Amino acid sequence: MLGFADNLTAWGYILSILAAILCVIYGLINWNKGTETEEDYRRTVEWEREEIEVEEKLP
Amino acid sequence: MFVNILLVILYLVVIFYLGYKGWRETRTASDYMIAGRQINPYVMAMSYGATFISTSAIVGFGGAAALFGFSVIWLTFLNIFVGIFIAFVFFGKRTRKMGRNLDAHTFPEILGLRFESRFIQGFSGLVIFVFLPVYAAAVLIGISRFIEVYLNIPFGYGLLGFSIILALYVIWGGLKGVMYTDALQGTLMFIMMAILVIFTYSQLGGIVKAHQTLTSMANLVPAKLKALGHMGWTASPKGGSPLWWIVYSTIVYGVGIGVLAQPQLAVRFMTVKNDASLNRAVLVGGIFILAMTGIAFTVGPLTNAVFFQKFGKISIAMAKGNIDKIIPLYIDKVMPSWFATLFLLAMLAAAMSTLSSQYHVGGTSLGRDFYEKSLGRTGGGEITATRLGVGLTILFTIGWGLFLPPSIIAIATAFFFGLCSSTFLPMYFSALYWKRATKAGAIASMVGGFIASFFWLIFIHKKEAAAIGICKALTGKVTLLGFPWNVIDPNVIALPVSIILIIVVSLATSRMREEHLEKCFEWM
């Protein structure tokens, strides 16, 4: 299949491409699902404060 | 040559400038930044991708694919399906929320807080701090082989020179602005890989024709590889042969599953704003990884056909036995010179982004996870410890880079991925999905998985056991068990051990406090 010597290898090749297509479809379908809520925003702001402190300690 | 070196320097200056500028602009007012910082899904996916896939994947695993053949493509399938789809959808979303709920900022920290154990945080931090440099060295070797082949700078000098430049970049603020330059670098990588695969297939007369040409070359497989189970570059190795175990247990399974418990990747999930960003990142990430490892593992085996047509030799003969040199040589000898220069720049960029995030993780593992949280020390010492952690990670990486033998990139990467999965994966998965998992179960799984992994490496797995020599010194035998055990990857044994331990020990100990669990899983 596809010029490969065995089908197992050919399927690895095909499934890699199909997996990438799955990712594209999933991304498109869920593009706007799970957008930011008030709760998300509040928690992110709290979390970011500490994150800045962590980063400031790096060289 | 002079023009090439000049181009490289010019490029580095631009990257430095962008990194520094990005960092200064985002740091001028913290509050503004908190309100305004939005990690765009494209930047998130590219940054994750550029951290995940680096010179080690392209140079090291591309070289391994040139030796072992197309069967390595199964790793691309896992890279996309497990490393992107499962990682983002099933691990990413919960990691982000739990990170917020517990105010966790590193991978060991989320594990430690979830299981209310400073020991877990400290032990994980130390494991990462000690062993991450082996993986970082694989990346450093990858770029240094490129510099060696393309700029004709001896390996050791290239490695040291690049490390010095990188250290300056890290000190100059590049470490902090890393996500922003990653997106630019990822885009460059993507374009270069696309050109590489189109050029290679067209050299060989098209997709199916190229594969057929390689299939017809099966008789050229060196006798030594045939004896190990090599059946040609477009075929799977002989079932149960030593090569079959190397390809499927170490490379495909070890690296493919190990990506889920990579500390430098898990922290990326926490910096995302919302679930939609992760959903969108799945789209970008899937295509990006296909373009990176998919193309590397396709072009890798095909180099045999192209080299044979042009020079009458297969890839491993062209590279004089060092598989880490195959991809750099292919780019240098076969591709047009403008491409080679741009490709080198893309590889430099990829190595810089991966290494700087590895140094970041090495520093916080020692400073925050081990020193500050596990030992409970504060008062300024943790800043010194973090900086010391970054410095030591850089030094150990250089040390491993100079010490490790040729043809090592894929093996060193697989070692770290395998170690992470057997030590962290069952605990990490349970942290996110299994409320019944307990502190004792998590500790047993982490320590048990780690010990099982090392026991197998030192006493059973022939390649490492023979090199380390402890088994021989203690028992007089190179390995305790013979074939097939001595070619089975440590991960195949250690991961199940780790899984069984977390289940059995958790069920035998009492459930964690309900209010703590509520806090961890709140808002999910």
- Tens-place pLDDT, residues B108-143: 999 999 999 999 999 999 999 999 999 999 999 999
Instruction: Write down the pLDDT at residue B38.
Output: 55
More confident residue, A26 or B467: A26
Residue B337 pLDDT more than 90? Answer: no
Instruction: Write down the pLDDT at residue B178.
Output: 57
pLDDT digits (tens, 9 = 90+) for B342-369: 888 888 878 887 888 888 889 889 988 9
Q: Is residue B423 part of a domain?
A: no
Q: Is residue B416 part of a domain?
A: no
Average pLDDT (B146-161) is 92
Q: Is residue B218 part of a domain?
A: yes
Q: A5, A12, A2: which is closest to B71 by C-alpha?
A: A12
More confident residue, B208 or B524: B208
| pLDDT band per the 50, 70, 90 thresholds, residue B495 | very high
Q: Enumerate residues 142 to 161 of chain B having a beta carbon within 8 A of any beta carbon in chain A.
A: none
| pLDDT band per the 50, 70, 90 thresholds, residue B176 | low
Residue B426 pLDDT more than 90? Answer: yes
Instruction: Write down the pLDDT at residue B25.
Output: 56
Closest-approach residue (CA) in chain A for B280: A27
Average pLDDT (B301-319) is 97
CB B453 within 8 A of CB B491: yes
- CA–CA separation, B111 and B91 (whole Å): 13
Between chains, do A58 and B30 touch, taking CB under 8 Å as contact?
no
Residue B37 pLDDT more than 50? Answer: no
- CA–CA separation, B350 and B328 (whole Å): 15
Q: Enumerate residues 213 to 242 of chain B having a beta carbon within 8 A of any beta carbon in chain A.
A: 214-215, 218, 231-232, 234-236
Between chains, do A44 and B100 touch, taking CB under 8 Å as contact?
yes
Q: Which 3 state secondary structure label does DSSP give B477?
A: coil
| pLDDT band per the 50, 70, 90 thresholds, residue B280 | confident
Instruction: Write down the pLDDT at residue B43.
Output: 72
| pLDDT band per the 50, 70, 90 thresholds, residue B417 | very high
Q: Is residue B20 part of a domain?
A: yes
Average pLDDT (B226-253) is 94
CB B140 within 8 A of CB B125: no
Q: Which of B39-53, B319-333, B352-366 has the highest mean pLDDT?
A: B319-333
The DSSP secondary-structure symbol of B485 reads G
Conformational region of residue B449, where left means phi above 0, alpha means psi within -120 to 50, and beta covers everything else:
alpha
Instruction: Write down the pLDDT at residue B24.
Output: 60
Q: Is residue B510 part of a domain?
A: no
Q: How many domains does chain B have?
A: 1
CB A40 within 8 A of CB B101: no
More confident residue, B378 or B119: B119
Q: B512, B468, B506: which is closest to B490 by C-alpha?
A: B468
Between chains, do B286 and A32 touch, taking CB under 8 Å as contact?
no
Instruction: Write down the pLDDT at residue B19.
Output: 65
Q: Identify the burial level of B446 via C-beta atoms within 10 angstroms of its C-beta, where 0-12 means exposed, 13-18 middle and 19 or more buried.
A: buried
Q: Which 3 state secondary structure label does DSSP give B385?
A: helix
The DSSP secondary-structure symbol of B271 reads T
pLDDT digits (tens, 9 = 90+) for B184-206: 778 888 899 999 999 999 999 99
Closest-approach residue (CA) in chain A for B169: A59
Instruction: Write down the pLDDT at residue B11.
Output: 79
In chain B, residues with a C-beta closer than 8 Å to the C-beta of A58 are 175-176, 360, 363-364, 386-387, 390
CA end-to-end span of chain B, whole Å?
56
Residue with the two structure tokens 């154990």: B117
Average pLDDT (B330-347) is 89
CA distance B499 to chain A (A): 27
- Of all residues in chain B, what percent carry a pLDDT higher than 70? 93
Give me the residue from B170, B283, B367 closest to A24, CB to CB.
Answer: B283
Q: Is residue B461 part of a domain?
A: no
CB B446 within 8 A of CB B431: no
In chain A, residues with a C-beta closer than 8 Å to the C-beta of B236 are 6, 8-9
Residue B182 pLDDT more than 80? Answer: no
Among B91-100, B120-129, B178-187, B381-390, the minimum mean pLDDT is found in: B178-187
| pLDDT band per the 50, 70, 90 thresholds, residue B28 | very low
| pLDDT band per the 50, 70, 90 thresholds, residue B173 | low
- Average pLDDT taken over every residue of chain B: 89
Provide the number of CB pairs (under 8 Å) joining chain A to chain B: 177
Measured torsion, CA atoms of residues A17, A23, A26, A31, in degrees rounded to the nearest 10: -130
Residue with the two structure tokens 């320097």: B9
Between chains, do B170 and A15 touch, taking CB under 8 Å as contact?
no
Is residue B333 less than 8 Å (CB to CB) from chain A?
no
Among B24-33, B159-168, B387-396, B464-473, the minimum mean pLDDT is found in: B24-33
Q: Enumerate residues 29 to 58 of chain A having a beta carbon within 8 A of any beta carbon in chain B.
A: 30-37, 39-40, 43-52, 54-55, 57-58
| CATH number, domain with residue B389 | 1.20.1730.10
Q: Is residue B452 part of a domain?
A: no
Range of the domain at B245: 2-26+39-406
Between chains, do A36 and B273 touch, taking CB under 8 Å as contact?
yes
In chain A, residues with a C-beta closer than 8 Å to the C-beta of B364 are 54, 57-58
| pLDDT band per the 50, 70, 90 thresholds, residue B39 | low
Give me the residue from A3, A44, A58 closest to B175, CB to CB.
Answer: A58
Helix ranges, chain A (H): 7-29, 38-56
Is residue B278 less than 8 Å (CB to CB) from chain A?
yes
Q: Is residue B457 part of a domain?
A: no
Residue B30 pLDDT more than 50? Answer: no
Q: Using 50 as the pLDDT threshold, list the residues of chain A that sit under it.
A: none
In chain A, residues with a C-beta closer than 8 Å to the C-beta of B73 are 9, 12-13, 16
